[in-house]
């Protein structure tokens, strides 16, 4: 029996999604994800499958983003070609999803555009114009089955409340919701980054004890999951800083209690 083209595109995208996750969190090698998303895009174009094409283009855009994040984490400076290629694909993904009228896909693509400005250009004002729209479609993203997509929307909204419109309690709330969604998803590779973001917000909000608890778990999961070295280091360094803050808080409380 021949597989219908739209199912073949979905299968390729599903396999590429897993390859992208593995590359983003464990291997740093995005070649397989890029190859499969490209195959899916080409097949979708051939068959006139607009949703499949939009899904594959979104995957290609996120593959570029993952590769760029890895470069930044390694201390590299992105070239104009690096940033331009990601932005071009993100814009194409958004236009493609808007053409289909699919709310979940549009929400994912709006979030992708927010990453271009928030992460690559460090332009919060431009990025938030897209992130607020993505937030408005977050329920549709979750209803489509994309718990991770909604988790990422809340995580980056948490960054906004932590660094831009500073509201520590709201940052903790957004990061907490992001973590809850990832817990429901059940993919342990994705938990450490959510735990680190939540814990650092808790530390900024004056709650080092909960921060240490979350960061201890983050470091354990990152090591056990054999995540990328920079992800393990991120969790371990944050844990060390939180433990120091907790010791300082307990030391300050000791003389006061006497």
Alpha-carbon span 11 to 30, nearest angstrom: 18
- CB–CB of 19/63 below 8 Å? no
Q: Where are the domains of the chain?
A: 7-19+29-68+83-97, 102-184, 187-252
Reply yes or no on whether the pLDDT at 254 is more than 70: no
Give the pLDDT of residue 3: 57
- φ, ψ dihedrals at 4, nearest 5°: -55, 140
Query: pLDDT averaged over the chain?
Result: 95
pLDDT confidence of 144, banded at 50, 70, 90?
Answer: very high
- CB–CB of 34/60 below 8 Å? yes
Reply yes or no on whether the pLDDT at 8 is more than 70: yes
Condensed to tens digits (0 to 9), the pLDDT of residues 17-43 reads 999 999 999 999 999 999 999 999 999
Give the per-residue SS3 of 6-72: HHHHHHHHHHHHHHHHHHHHHHCCCHHHHHHHHHHHHHHHHHCCHHHHHHHHHHHHHHHHHHHHHHH
- CB–CB of 37/16 below 8 Å? yes
- CB–CB of 110/133 below 8 Å? yes
């Amino acid at each position: 029996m021949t597989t219908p083209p739209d199912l073949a595109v979905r299968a390729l995208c599903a396999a590429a999604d897993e390859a992208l996750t593995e590359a983003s969190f464990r291997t740093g090698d995005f070649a397989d994800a890029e190859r499969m998303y490209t195959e899916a895009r080409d097949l979708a174009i051939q068959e006139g499958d607009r949703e499949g094409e939009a899904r594959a283009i979104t995957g290609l855009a996120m593959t570029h983003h993952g590769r760029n994040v890895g470069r930044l984490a390694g201390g590299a400076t992105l070239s104009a070609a690096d940033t331009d290629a990601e932005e071009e694909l993100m814009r194409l993904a958004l236009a493609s999803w808007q053409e289909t009228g699919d709310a979940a896909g549009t929400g994912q693509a709006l979030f992708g555009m927010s990453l271009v400005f928030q992460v690559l250009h460090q332009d919060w004002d431009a990025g938030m114009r897209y992130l607020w729209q993505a937030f408005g479609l977050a329920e549709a993203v979750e209803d489509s089955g994309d718990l991770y997509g909604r988790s990422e929307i809340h995580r980056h909204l948490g960054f906004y409340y932590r660094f831009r419109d500073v509201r520590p309690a709201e940052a903790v709330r957004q990061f907490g919701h992001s973590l809850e969604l990832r817990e429901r998803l059940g993919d342990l590779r994705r938990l450490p980054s959510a735990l680190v973001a939540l814990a650092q917000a808790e530390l900024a909000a004056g709650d080092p004890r909960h921060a240490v608890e979350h960061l201890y778990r983050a470091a354990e999961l990152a090591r056990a999951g054999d995540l990328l070295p920079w992800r393990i280091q991120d969790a371990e360094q944050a844990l060390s800083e939180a433990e120091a803050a907790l010791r300082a808080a307990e030391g300050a409380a000791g003389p006061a209690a006497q």
